[in-house]
Structure 1
């Protein structure tokens, strides 16, 4: 898919042993950075969510809703990853969220080492929850640990029911899957039981929720799931 993350090496047999070793080295370095970040977050008692999805599935709108409804403890902080522009970060700051932008350029995912400069711009001691809004992509980000305590994957009803089967690595890595934009399900003839079966097939241990950031449906249950993880981290 790209030349920056070596994802072709991960997804398929490498054409040469040298490329295979490069892919392993990239992930090993990332895992070491992620482990250090996880220790840092745990020492601060800070729960961290890695929010993943395809482009346009509603990640930013979901965070806007979460920011409006957030009652603490502490503030909500967000690190936003995008190929270009800081549009999402500006939207979140307008919603009263402490948001920092990471512009990746050609990189189709965030890596643990990219988070360090962004973390320096946040007062971690004042935060009750940190969300990392990853680059919109259902392939590369699945392989990169960011030190998170919860991995949340969104599936918008407008994407169709078969996305979990097409991108099994992403959904298999999820702790929590939110079927988003559920208010549009009837309009786009989205088969909810069918989608749930596909998610369960590739991610049997993931919890599945349904909701809509626009209407607020299911958001209370999502907040409860996040709060439970936050309490566990603390």
Structure 2
């Protein structure tokens, strides 16, 4: 434990600096907190947690449950329906008999576009990071004793960090929390369950899930900020007008 003391002191100092940063740039501070948590997990917890689940989950009553839950993190689940629904909303908007009805359909189309871009763009970012980082998946630890990194590799077994399923589900659920905030606790609880399933099924390490989840959340918030900067409110029922617009001046 004494050998870890300098590292723990460094992490404590970094934590204090990040807290100060968070008062001005909360998303940047959250990124640093997640990086620190991921680093600590990589050094101290990832192997233990992965080996524990590999030993205890197979054959248990929870194995089938988590294998079903984890499929909700597949990109196609959240990327295929929105464009089709967007086209349907635009068609209904064109057929609307009066302005208020057309405005409602346009707001729904805007929300679907926001949702799609959040999931798609954050997914592309994660795919790029996976290749650059090149982290071995838990499977490599179980079968070959490999733990660490092999940068710039597109092979499935060496693209563990960050978790794509965690990014996808948190991007989707955080976007839904923005669009329909009434159910935000349910959305985020589902996201956490799916992200946890990646560790439980021994496909990802805990640190992979931490960073994937952060990227999904950050993407939803930044995309919402970008839409609002263009005068587009994606939260359904937020405004009685067709579309919020910034006034010049």
Q: TM-score, normalised by structure 1?
A: 0.24
More strand by share: 1
More helix by share: 2
Q: TM-score, normalised by structure 2?
A: 0.23
